Structure 1
Amino acid sequence: MNLDLSFYFAVFLRRIHYFILVFALVTAAAIAAAFLLPAVYTARSTLVIESPQIPGALLPPTVQAAAMEQLQIAEKDLMRRVNLLDIANKLNVFRDMNKMTPDQIVQAMSDATTINKSAGKGQAAFMTITFDGETGPKAAAVVNEYVTIVLTQDAERRKTGASETVATFQSDVKNLDGQLSDMSAKILKFQEENKDALPNTLTYRLGQQQILQDRLAQTERDIALLKDQKDRMIALFNATGQITGVAAAQTPEAKQLDQLRQQMNASLAVLSPSNPKIKQLQAQIDQLEKVVQAQQVPADVSGAVMSPIDVQIASMDAQMEALEEQRKQLIEQLDILKDSIDRTPANQIALDAMTRDLGNIQGQYNNAVAKLAAARSSEVVEAQAKGERLTVIEAASAPDSPTKPNRMMVAAAGVGGGAALGIALIVLLELLNRSVRRPKDLIKSFGITPLVTVPYIRTPNETMKRRSGFVVLLLLAVVGIPAVIYAVHVYVAPLDYIFAKVADKLGIRL
């Protein structure tokens, strides 16, 4: 494809007034905006989450959130509406704040604030707070207010967390202490109500049961023996009229008399009759002989003297009656022991359950006491600011020069944009122009070949009018547009405010 560069250049020259007009218009507007846009000063401060001075192995921290989570919480607390309004009103951050609504102030503070966070495994956690202000001191003051709020709220949050942790464990310890007391009282009451059937005395009661069973068996044998002796003695007496040959039951005094006589005989073998011990034994023997002799001839209820067989039968009956009474008491004692032994397994299960519950509560109580002690230590650490905390490693200082706008860049962009728009306008006009201007246009449109072409020749008057109108438009573009922009900036609203409103409507963040 062959381009007729001379033709396009001629077209450009013929329409250069459009180019100059658009170029001058955009360039003037850009230069005016570059010099009228207010300077923006940026101040920043950097904070870091400082490790605790006491190792976590010795004293676990009360705030267990991850570093990034802590920074996010700090940012949310900082950017609350009340904080932004207080700082803006305190420092008079924006011009004409009396004309701004609270929502506009909050939005402007939020737009001018930038918070960057960085945290990673094995890396320090940083937070950088940046604010764009109209002056350097004002921007630095806002950032320092931000830092003060972040540090204050972080310290309060940690202290509050430590205090709430202590209060929680204090409540747990109090509740568990009450449960321990209640369970101990319950166990004590149960033991008092079942003291005859407790597991710790089961072995003793089983031994007592065996002893009583042996005694009961012996008593029943003695009763049976006495009954047998009585029957044989009565049978012998009925048959022979005598009671000899049957071992007569002796009274306790008679048995004691026989023992004393035996002891007397043994003592005389080694001692003389005049020995005091021999005399004492003889006195006891004499006294018992009188008692035994009185027992051998008893009287019945009518006063008559009882026969020897009656004496023996009465003695045996008395002994059997005593043994029967002893047997009855042994049976009662065995029944009581059996009942207590039968109740022991159930008591064992109940006591084991209560003891297990008591042990569980005791373990929970000990754990809660240990945690309470650790929480109190953590509270002291937080109060002394020796735990994990946010600290400032770079305080905000007032910048000496503005960070934006870059006026030369804005002006250069305006010059480039004006040139591009001027060329684009000429190209657009050329694309929309369908008139015949070259010989080849005649050949293409009508299929004829011209012999000669004569261009349109303007009169001097037309040329003067054309140039005068161009000069007027150029002056309006170069002088009028900056003047209008300046008037809007001074008397209507600042350009940065207008740009911010437009960007907000378009959803663009400047």
Structure 2
Amino acid sequence: RQQATIFTITAEAKNGETAAGIVNALVDQVLEQDAAFRTEVASDTLLFFEKEVRRLGDALDAANTRILDFQNKNVDALPETLDFRMGRQSLLQERMTQIRREIGQLNDQRRRLSELFQTTGRTEAQPRRALSPEEEELEQLNAQLREALSVYSDTHPRVAMLRSRIGTLEAVLEARNPDAEPETPGERVFNAQIVEIDSQLEALHDTISDLEPEIASLQATIERTPTNAITLSAMERDRANIQSQYDTAVSRLSAAATGERIEVLSKGQRLSVIERAVPPARPSEPKMILMGAGAVGLGLVLGIVAVVLREILNPKIRRPAEISKKLGITPLGTIPFVDTPGERWRQRGLRSAALVVVIAGIVGALIFIDRQVSPLDQIAQKVLRQGRL
């Protein structure tokens, strides 16, 4: 573990060149199979991550689409605009409170003015009034219109109402009946003030009518915001998880593509050849010296055993001591055995045949060693090198 694994490939053959060729062929096959296997694995890995990136990309697009649709459907109740809507609601509520306060003040003013006129028949502003009620009202409406245009747009209901009143008064002034009984100066002032107060009250009530739906709508969106925030947070959390998986898959896809390219170019082999097989200078087996020594020892043992067995198993009497031992007599003398000419020729022939057999055996052994073990010239060179050493 945590170390390189080293293994050796060996082969046996009739000669060193054949053995080296077999080993190198096996090494090439191992390297080819390793490269093919690793290339196949790298290609499968690359294909898997390509599919994973496409799947996660589609899932990420679907999550983004869901979030976008939800935001479009709830654009007025998103958490991002909650502070603005709450501030807008507070501002409108303060505005409505102020308008109601102004309405109350105008009602009080109208009531006091009516009581004063009914009691005294005049108004506080009577000495200062020199214009007719319609003219004064027209002047006041023009002033209110200028003030309203500085605050509201041309299409605002208050601006439209003031312009309508101004047009009505202008038409009244133009078509005034000269035979009508003129009003008293105090009554004209009183009527002008009442009309002005009523117009202001109507404008304020119109403003309240405009503010109430907007405040109610803001309140409804504010109440929907917490639920939308929870839903949106869950959707964004799912998208973040998919985004994280997508980023990891893209990173691994890049690594897999690099690995697959390396494998295709055969630069990523984990198996490396430390040393290729070369024809050996001498055979590893059989051990010639050991075989020779064993053969000599075995021949000596077999020779001794053969001599001993021949001596033990030969029943002939060859010495005087054997005569005394086997016959129980003491010989007076011994006569040696004399071979006949035919027996001598037979013995010479047997010796010659044995010599021929031995020579043939030696020659056969040399031929077997030369063809099956190692050439005799290499063995001779090796013996000479060892003798020189």
TM-score (normalised: structure 2) = 0.58
How has the CA–CA distance of structure 1 residues 209 and 389 changed in structure 2, closer, same or farther, with 3 Å as cutoff?
same
Aligned residue among 139, 147, 170 for 2:50 = 170
Aligned residue among 291, 294, 319 for 2:170 = 291
Shift of 1:197: 1.5
- Equivalent position of 2:151 in the other structure: none
**C-alpha contact (below 8 Å) 1:165/1:375 kept by paired residues:** yes
Aligned equivalents of 1:323, 1:304: Cα separation in 2: 33
User: Counterpart of 2:46 in 1: which secondary structure?
Assistant: helix
- Equivalent position of 2:10 in the other structure: 130
Aligned equivalents of 1:143, 1:160: Cα separation in 2: 26
- Equivalent position of 1:369 in the other structure: 250
Amino acid in the other structure paired with 2:139: A
Amino acid in the other structure paired with 1:330: L
**C-alpha contact (below 8 Å) 1:296/1:311 kept by paired residues:** no
- Equivalent position of 1:253 in the other structure: 138
How has the CA–CA distance of structure 1 residues 408 and 258 changed in structure 2, closer, same or farther, with 3 Å as cutoff?
closer
Aligned equivalents of 1:146, 1:338: Cα separation in 2: 83
- Equivalent position of 1:390 in the other structure: 271
Amino acid in the other structure paired with 2:287: N
- Equivalent position of 2:204 in the other structure: 323
**C-alpha contact (below 8 Å) 1:229/1:246 kept by paired residues:** no
Cα-Cα RMSD = 4.6
Aligned equivalents of 1:131, 1:336: Cα separation in 2: 92
Q: Does 1:347 align with 2:228?
A: yes
How has the CA–CA distance of structure 1 residues 335 and 252 changed in structure 2, closer, same or farther, with 3 Å as cutoff?
farther
Aligned equivalents of 1:201, 1:233: Cα separation in 2: 47
Q: Does 1:458 align with 2:326?
A: yes
**C-alpha contact (below 8 Å) 1:183/1:358 kept by paired residues:** yes
- Equivalent position of 1:142 in the other structure: 22
Shift of 1:130: 0.7
Aligned equivalents of 2:86, 2:137: Cα separation in 1: 33
Amino acid in the other structure paired with 1:368: A
**C-alpha contact (below 8 Å) 2:137/2:196 kept by paired residues:** no
Shift of 1:192: 0.6
Shift of 1:334: 1.0
Aligned equivalents of 1:327, 1:142: Cα separation in 2: 103
**C-alpha contact (below 8 Å) 2:46/2:253 kept by paired residues:** yes
How has the CA–CA distance of structure 1 residues 405 and 192 changed in structure 2, closer, same or farther, with 3 Å as cutoff?
same
The structure whose RCO (Cα within 8 Å, separation 6+) is larger is: 1
**C-alpha contact (below 8 Å) 2:34/2:269 kept by paired residues:** no
Amino acid in the other structure paired with 2:276: A
Unaligned residue ranges in structure 2 (runs of 5+): 145-165, 309-323, 329-356, 362-389
| 1:164-203 alignment, distance < 5 Å | 164-203=44-83
Shift of 1:256: 5.3
Q: Does 1:232 align with 2:102?
A: no
How has the CA–CA distance of structure 1 residues 341 and 370 changed in structure 2, closer, same or farther, with 3 Å as cutoff?
same
Shift of 1:149: 1.2
**C-alpha contact (below 8 Å) 1:297/1:305 kept by paired residues:** no
Aligned equivalents of 2:172, 2:22: Cα separation in 1: 128
User: Counterpart of 1:333 in 2: which secondary structure?
Assistant: helix
| 1:259-270 alignment, distance < 5 Å | none
**C-alpha contact (below 8 Å) 2:79/2:226 kept by paired residues:** yes
Aligned equivalents of 2:26, 2:223: Cα separation in 1: 78
Unaligned residue ranges in structure 1 (runs of 5+): 1-65, 69-118, 120-124, 260-286, 427-455, 461-478, 484-510
Shift of 1:373: 2.3
Aligned equivalents of 1:416, 1:407: Cα separation in 2: 15
Aligned equivalents of 1:323, 1:345: Cα separation in 2: 34
Task: Give per-residue Cα distances to partners, 1:52-89, cap 9 Å, x unaligned.
Answer: xxxxxxxxxxxxxx776xxxxxxxxxxxxxxxxxxxxx
User: Counterpart of 1:140 in 2: which secondary structure?
Assistant: helix
Aligned equivalents of 2:174, 2:99: Cα separation in 1: 26
Shift of 1:398: 4.2
Task: Give per-residue Cα distances to partners, 1:272-300, cap 9 Å, x unaligned.
Answer: xxxxxxxxxxxxxxx99x839739989xx
How has the CA–CA distance of structure 1 residues 351 and 161 changed in structure 2, closer, same or farther, with 3 Å as cutoff?
same
User: Counterpart of 2:93 in 1: which secondary structure?
Assistant: helix
Task: Give per-residue Cα distances to partners, 1:142-188, cap 9 Å, x unaligned.
Answer: 32231121110111122223222322321222122112211211211
| 1:205-244 alignment, distance < 5 Å | 205-240=85-120, 242-244=121-123
**C-alpha contact (below 8 Å) 1:169/1:368 kept by paired residues:** yes
Aligned equivalents of 1:387, 1:180: Cα separation in 2: 34
Shift of 1:389: 3.6
- Equivalent position of 1:491 in the other structure: none
User: Counterpart of 1:132 in 2: which secondary structure?
Assistant: coil
Task: Give per-residue Cα distances to partners, 1:4-54, cap 9 Å, x unaligned.
Answer: xxxxxxxxxxxxxxxxxxxxxxxxxxxxxxxxxxxxxxxxxxxxxxxxxxx
Task: Give per-residue Cα distances to partners, 1:355-379, cap 9 Å, x unaligned.
Answer: 3443343343233323322322232
Aligned equivalents of 2:230, 2:181: Cα separation in 1: 67
Shift of 1:353: 3.7
Find the structure with the greater CA-based Rg: 2
Greater per-residue helix proportion = 2
Aligned equivalents of 2:109, 2:174: Cα separation in 1: 20
Task: Give per-residue Cα distances to partners, 1:228-251, cap 9 Å, x unaligned.
Answer: 2232233334434x2513799987
